[in-house]
């Protein structure tokens, strides 16, 4: 028995271990020779490797190109600098560190620098106010309202007597939401073997809760258009959010949690409070970013010290106001302090996902250092650090096919 990369598989090889999808459903059973259709399914699902009988498919072939030692060293040094606040002896952190170095070194010159140097960020003219949350609530800023269709969807879902047809009817009222959801359903996030061209079929195949969670997360993020360019780009923020949603969903699946779709939405929306800061309070946001660089501290801690609350608490307020499910509200609220959450496991999932995505440098939500790992949260997940290699590969694969959700990179 040997491990073979999916891209090296050939028809006729025999899989010696069952291959399952994110929900634990059987994709391929062991013991049978595989065909080209099976290989295609594995690729659609982003399964990076499988166990096969006999010798490795690339035995005797030339070894893969080694990573340029100069890139490896550069990636190690850069990653080292950004893990300043994180306990490096922890097995999960050590594994993330190693995977990140390999990922970044492998991309070499393609990798953009992770964060602007402190001197690139100008100090704000005015010092921020404390007790920001009170001020924010009192000010009652004109936030965009959730589209009525999402509220309608929520109602249909919360009624146990609603049918999948009723839900499809609600979604069909919005051509743009319908088009977007069908694109997502046909992406490698779901790995469906054939194209889905109508909502009723999508509801049947992936479920009402899943589709509604997707509609919620995507609709909320698309309400916000522009972040001041002095802070960061909307594309970069959405990349960070989307990657965090994907990793959260994959970690939930590794834990065989049932509600993976809510973890996707919670990951997608985890930094929504920071989006509000960036758009409506750019001075406060700039001041916090500047201070985090100056003091080599995490941005969320600086927000708390200088504003009296951090972005996750602002996020909680918003999600509560928009009446999102409590599990999403609490997960977002406690993603930096998962041990304090009423249910620590979902918060721990997004906590670890955020750490991993920050470490990989996929987009950014303003943190220049990797947030420290809460060791208790990691223990609560009962996962092995070895899961990160597969999670990273599947995340990159899925992110690639969800590229259409990101705005163009405009100068
Ligand atoms: Fe955060
Ligand atoms: Fe984040």
pLDDT (tens place) for every residue of the chain, 411 residues total: 677 777 778 878 888 887 776 666 677 777 777 887 777 777 666 676 777 887 655 555 555 566 778 888 888 988 898 999 998 999 999 999 999 999 988 876 555 555 554 555 565 655 665 577 777 777 667 777 677 877 787 777 667 777 778 878 888 888 888 888 888 888 877 878 788 888 888 888 877 777 777 777 887 888 887 787 777 888 899 999 999 999 999 999 888 877 677 899 899 999 999 998 888 888 888 888 988 988 999 999 999 988 888 999 999 998 888 888 888 999 999 999 999 999 999 999 999 999 999 999 999 999 989 999 999 999 999 999 999 999 999 999 889 888 888 877 544
Q: Residue 36 has what pLDDT?
A: 74
Q: Which residue bears the tokens 């059987």?
A: 26
Measured in Å, residue 357 CA sits from the centre of ligand 2 at 8
Distances (CA, A) of 96 to 48, 87, 91, 171, 253: 18, 12, 9, 39, 19
- Ligand index nearest the alpha carbon of residue 238: 2
- Ligand index nearest the alpha carbon of residue 237: 2
19 strand-pairing partners: 28
Measured in Å, residue 1 CA sits from the centre of ligand 1 at 43
Measured in Å, residue 241 CA sits from the centre of ligand 2 at 7
Measured in Å, residue 331 CA sits from the centre of ligand 1 at 11
Distances (CA, A) of 347 to 256, 329, 330: 16, 10, 7
Q: Which residues are within 5 Å of ligand 1 (an ion), measured at CB?
A: 271
Q: Residue 316 has what pLDDT?
A: 93
- Ligand index nearest the alpha carbon of residue 240: 2
Q: Residue 411 has what pLDDT?
A: 41
- Ligand index nearest the alpha carbon of residue 311: 1
Measured in Å, residue 226 CA sits from the centre of ligand 2 at 18
Q: Residue 252 has what pLDDT?
A: 92
Measured in Å, residue 87 CA sits from the centre of ligand 2 at 19
Q: Residue 116 has what pLDDT?
A: 57
């Amino acid at each position: 028995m040997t491990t073979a990369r999916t891209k090296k598989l050939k028809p006729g090889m025999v899989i010696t271990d069952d291959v399952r999808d994110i929900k634990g459903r059987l994709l391929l059973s062991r013991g049978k020779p595989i065909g080209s259709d099976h290989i295609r399914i594995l690729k659609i699902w982003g399964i990076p490797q499988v166990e096969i009988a006999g010798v490795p498919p690339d035995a005797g072939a030339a070894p893969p190109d080694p990573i340029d030692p100069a890139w490896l060293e550069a990636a190690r040094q850069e990653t080292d600098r950004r893990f300043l606040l994180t306990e490096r002896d922890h097995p999960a952190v050590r594994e993330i560190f190693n995977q990140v170095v390999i990922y970044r070194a492998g991309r070499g010159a393609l990798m953009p620098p992770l964060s602007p140097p402190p001197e690139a960020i100008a100090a704000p003219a005015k010092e921020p106010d404390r007790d920001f949350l009170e001020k924010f609530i009192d000010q009652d800023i004109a936030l965009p309202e959730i589209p009525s269709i999402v509220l309608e969807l929520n109602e249909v879902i919360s009624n146990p007597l609603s049918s999948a047809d009723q839900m499809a009817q609600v979604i069909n009222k919005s051509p743009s939401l319908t088009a977007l959801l069908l694109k997502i359903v046909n992406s490698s996030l779901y790995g469906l073997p054939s194209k889905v061209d109508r909502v009723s079929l999508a509801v049947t195949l992936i479920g009402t809760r899943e589709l509604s969670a997707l509609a919620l997360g995507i609709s909320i993020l698309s309400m916000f258009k522009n972040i001041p360019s002095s802070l960061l780009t909307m594309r970069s923020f959405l990349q960070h959010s989307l990657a965090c949603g994907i990793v959260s969903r994959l970690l939930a699946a590794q834990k065989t949690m049932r509600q993976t779709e809510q973890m996707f939405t919670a990951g997608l929306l985890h930094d929504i409070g920071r989006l509000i800061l960036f758009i409506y309070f750019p001075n406060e946001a700039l001041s916090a970013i500047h201070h985090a660089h100056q003091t080599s501290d995490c941005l969320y801690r600086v927000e708390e010290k200088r504003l009296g609350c951090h972005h996750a608490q602002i996020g909680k307020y918003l999600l509560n106001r928009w009446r999102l499910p409590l599990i999403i509200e609490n997960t977002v609220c406690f993603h930096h302090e998962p041990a304090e959450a009423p249910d620590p496991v979902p918060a721990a999932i997004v906590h670890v996902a955020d750490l991993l995505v920050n470490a990989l440098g996929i987009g950014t939500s303003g943190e220049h250092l990797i947030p420290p790992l809460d060791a208790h949260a990691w223990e609560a997940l009962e996962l092995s650090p070895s899961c990160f290699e597969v999670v990273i590969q599947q995340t990159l694969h899925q992110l690639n096919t969800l590229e259409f959700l990101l705005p163009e990179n405009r100068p």
